[in-house]
Amino acid sequence: MEAYDLSQLTAAEFQSRKGDPVVIHFAPNFSLPSTILGATELNGYSPLERNSFSVEFQTNGDHRVIEQGIYRVVQQDDKYLDIFLVPIAQDPLGTRYEAVFS
Protein backbone atom coordinates (compact mmCIF):
# COMPACT_ATOMS: atom_id res chain seq x y z
CA MET A 1 0.00 0.00 0.00
CA GLU A 2 1.06 3.54 -0.70
CA ALA A 3 0.14 6.67 1.28
CA TYR A 4 -1.27 9.75 -0.38
CA ASP A 5 0.67 12.98 0.06
CA LEU A 6 -1.87 14.93 2.10
CA SER A 7 -0.36 18.26 1.10
CA GLN A 8 -1.17 17.56 -2.56
CA LEU A 9 -4.82 16.52 -2.17
CA THR A 10 -7.60 18.89 -3.26
CA ALA A 11 -11.36 19.05 -2.86
CA ALA A 12 -11.74 18.41 -6.60
CA GLU A 13 -9.97 15.06 -6.29
CA PHE A 14 -12.46 13.91 -3.66
CA GLN A 15 -15.41 15.34 -5.60
CA SER A 16 -14.35 13.25 -8.59
CA ARG A 17 -14.47 10.18 -6.32
CA LYS A 18 -17.90 10.95 -4.88
CA GLY A 19 -19.74 7.67 -4.37
CA ASP A 20 -16.56 5.58 -4.47
CA PRO A 21 -16.19 2.88 -1.83
CA VAL A 22 -13.46 3.08 0.80
CA VAL A 23 -12.66 1.07 3.93
CA ILE A 24 -12.13 2.90 7.20
CA HIS A 25 -9.87 1.05 9.65
CA PHE A 26 -10.96 2.13 13.12
CA ALA A 27 -8.77 -0.45 14.92
CA PRO A 28 -6.36 -3.23 13.91
CA ASN A 29 -9.20 -5.77 13.76
CA PHE A 30 -12.14 -3.47 13.06
CA SER A 31 -12.88 -1.81 9.73
CA LEU A 32 -16.06 -0.72 8.01
CA PRO A 33 -16.99 -0.40 4.34
CA SER A 34 -17.76 3.22 3.65
CA THR A 35 -18.46 5.67 0.83
CA ILE A 36 -17.07 9.09 -0.09
CA LEU A 37 -20.02 11.49 0.09
CA GLY A 38 -18.19 14.49 -1.35
CA ALA A 39 -15.96 17.43 -0.55
CA THR A 40 -16.56 21.09 0.25
CA GLU A 41 -14.10 23.95 -0.26
CA LEU A 42 -13.62 26.06 2.88
CA ASN A 43 -12.65 29.70 3.23
CA GLY A 44 -10.14 29.05 6.01
CA TYR A 45 -6.43 29.72 5.87
CA SER A 46 -4.10 27.08 4.48
CA PRO A 47 -0.31 27.38 4.40
CA LEU A 48 -0.38 25.18 1.29
CA GLU A 49 -1.03 26.21 -2.31
CA ARG A 50 -4.46 24.57 -2.24
CA ASN A 51 -7.55 25.81 -0.39
CA SER A 52 -8.79 24.21 2.81
CA PHE A 53 -11.60 21.69 2.34
CA SER A 54 -13.62 19.06 4.14
CA VAL A 55 -14.58 15.55 3.05
CA GLU A 56 -17.50 13.46 4.30
CA PHE A 57 -17.53 9.68 4.52
CA GLN A 58 -20.53 7.43 5.20
CA THR A 59 -20.21 4.04 6.87
CA ASN A 60 -22.46 1.45 5.30
CA GLY A 61 -24.84 -0.55 7.48
CA ASP A 62 -23.11 -0.04 10.82
CA HIS A 63 -24.62 2.47 13.23
CA ARG A 64 -21.93 2.46 15.90
CA VAL A 65 -20.47 5.90 16.45
CA ILE A 66 -16.70 5.69 16.75
CA GLU A 67 -15.08 8.54 18.65
CA GLN A 68 -13.03 11.11 16.79
CA GLY A 69 -9.46 10.17 16.08
CA ILE A 70 -6.87 9.41 13.43
CA TYR A 71 -7.94 6.46 11.30
CA ARG A 72 -6.72 4.85 8.09
CA VAL A 73 -8.96 5.29 5.04
CA VAL A 74 -8.09 2.88 2.22
CA GLN A 75 -9.35 3.59 -1.30
CA GLN A 76 -10.01 1.10 -4.10
CA ASP A 77 -6.52 1.61 -5.57
CA ASP A 78 -5.03 0.49 -2.20
CA LYS A 79 -3.70 3.98 -1.54
CA TYR A 80 -4.46 5.18 1.95
CA LEU A 81 -4.83 8.27 4.11
CA ASP A 82 -4.25 8.44 7.84
CA ILE A 83 -6.62 11.27 8.73
CA PHE A 84 -8.48 12.76 11.68
CA LEU A 85 -12.15 11.81 11.42
CA VAL A 86 -14.98 13.33 13.45
CA PRO A 87 -18.42 11.69 13.66
CA ILE A 88 -20.99 14.28 12.54
CA ALA A 89 -24.31 12.46 12.11
CA GLN A 90 -26.17 9.18 12.04
CA ASP A 91 -28.75 8.30 9.43
CA PRO A 92 -30.52 5.16 8.18
CA LEU A 93 -27.38 4.07 6.28
CA GLY A 94 -24.85 4.35 9.12
CA THR A 95 -22.65 7.09 10.53
CA ARG A 96 -21.17 10.08 8.69
CA TYR A 97 -17.64 11.24 9.43
CA GLU A 98 -15.85 14.41 8.38
CA ALA A 99 -12.18 15.15 7.76
CA VAL A 100 -10.88 18.71 7.36
CA PHE A 101 -7.77 19.40 5.27
CA SER A 102 -6.22 22.80 6.01
Residue extents of the structural domains in the chain: 2-101
CB 73 within 8 A of CB 26: no
Q: Which band of pLDDT confidence, cut at 50, 70 and 90, is reported for residue 18?
A: very high
Report, as an integer, the average pLDDT of 37-59.
Answer: 84
Q: What is the pTM of this model?
A: 0.90
For residue 99, count CB atoms less than 10 angstroms from its CB and return exposed for 0-12, middle for 13-18, buried for 19 or more. buried
Report, as an integer, the average pLDDT of 91-97.
Answer: 94
Which CATH class, in words, describes the domain spanning 2-101? mainly beta
Contacts within 8 Å (CB) and 24+ apart, 28-34: 32/59, 32/60, 32/62, 32/94, 33/59, 33/60, 33/61, 34/58, 34/59, 34/60, 34/73, 34/94, 34/97
Q: Which band of pLDDT confidence, cut at 50, 70 and 90, is reported for residue 26?
A: very high
